[in-house]
Structure 1
Amino acid sequence: MAKQVCMGAMMQCSMGMAPSSLVPTPKTVMTSGVMAANIMDNIPIMNIPPFGMCQSPSNPVVAAATAAALGVLTPMPCVPATPAPWAPGAATVLVCGMPALNDSSKLTCIWGGSISINFAGQVTHDIP
């Protein structure tokens, strides 16, 4: 069963070298005591922080550095470029009028990376 993604969720890009933490746009909907995310939380830098170094040859900065290194792949600082929303999102749950972001959703970077959720950010507490 998919989990609702919220503030503090950990993400990984297939072309990035480090994980990153999702920062949802401010909303009134909470889950596990923190702000819930929806599929429109895809704005680079604001919602999607960098993933360390980018190693995608499709990224012009990486391509230039690789060419300068005579063809040796040279990772460069990540600057996510995510123009489309997360997909597919929750089919039956809305967060502030948009489909909720669940941990099975993916986000595509134009440099060829696929961003996935490693940890949804939800925590459960046992009640004695």
Structure 2
Amino acid sequence: MASLQVCAGGTLQCSFGAAPGVLNVLPANRTLVGGVPAATLLDSIPIVNITPFGMCQSTANPTVIAATSAALGVFTPMPCVPATPAPWIPGGAPTALIGPAPALDAQGTLVCAWGGVIKVTQPGQTSTLVP
């Protein structure tokens, strides 16, 4: 089943984040969708591609652990710094290549090292499908 192609400016949400983030896609592959760079499964680098999600609520995040400990056990969220060690997990069949990597569709997910699951909430465009 086809799904929407994700591109630069798409909105993301982490299951432990307090706010949405944005997907940044560098124009290295020279493929545009609606005038902006199209995303691939490799667009998963923290800060470069994946922006922070406000305050992190994960009890596995070392900064949250330290802040909670300093607050004598009172749970204390800390600013999110995404920790995404692996590429996106494709949601559909990765049949379309953009440069050296499969295109990222709106069903893709990304796992954070602190336990969060990052999903696409708005792909950044509404007309181009990935087969």
- Normalized against structure 1, the TM-score is what? 0.92
Which letter does structure 1 place at the counterpart of 2:4? K
Structure 1 match to 2:9: 8
Which whole-Å deviations, capped at 9, do the CAs of 1:47-77 have from their partners, x for residues lacking one? Answer: 0111111111100100011112222211001
Percent identity over the alignment is: 56
Distance 1:88 1:100 in 2: 9
Structure 1 residues without counterparts, runs of 5 or longer: none
Task: Give the secondary-structure state (helix, strand or coil) at the position aligned to 1:116.
Answer: strand
Instruction: Say which of 97, 104, 122 aligns to 1:101.
Output: 104
Structure 2 match to 1:51: 53
Instruction: Say which of 74, 98, 108 aligns to 1:72.
Output: 74
Which letter does structure 2 place at the counterpart of 1:103? A
Any conservation in 1 of the 2:17–2:80 contact (CA below 8 Å)?
A: yes
Measured after TM superposition, the shift of residue 87 of structure 1 is 0.5
Distance 2:90 2:8 in 1: 19
How many residues in Structure 1 have an aligned counterpart in Structure 2?
124
Task: Give the secondary-structure state (helix, strand or coil) at the position aligned to 1:62.
Answer: helix
Distance 2:89 2:12 in 1: 14
- Normalized against structure 2, the TM-score is what? 0.90
Task: Give the secondary-structure state (helix, strand or coil) at the position aligned to 1:110.
Answer: coil
Measured after TM superposition, the shift of residue 23 of structure 1 is 0.3
Any conservation in 1 of the 2:88–2:109 contact (CA below 8 Å)?
A: yes
Structure 2 match to 1:34: 36
Is residue 91 of structure 1 aligned with residue 94 of structure 2?
Answer: yes
> For structure 1, which segment, 75-84 or 24-33, has the greater mean C-alpha deviation from structure 2 after superposition?
24-33
Structure 2 match to 1:63: 65
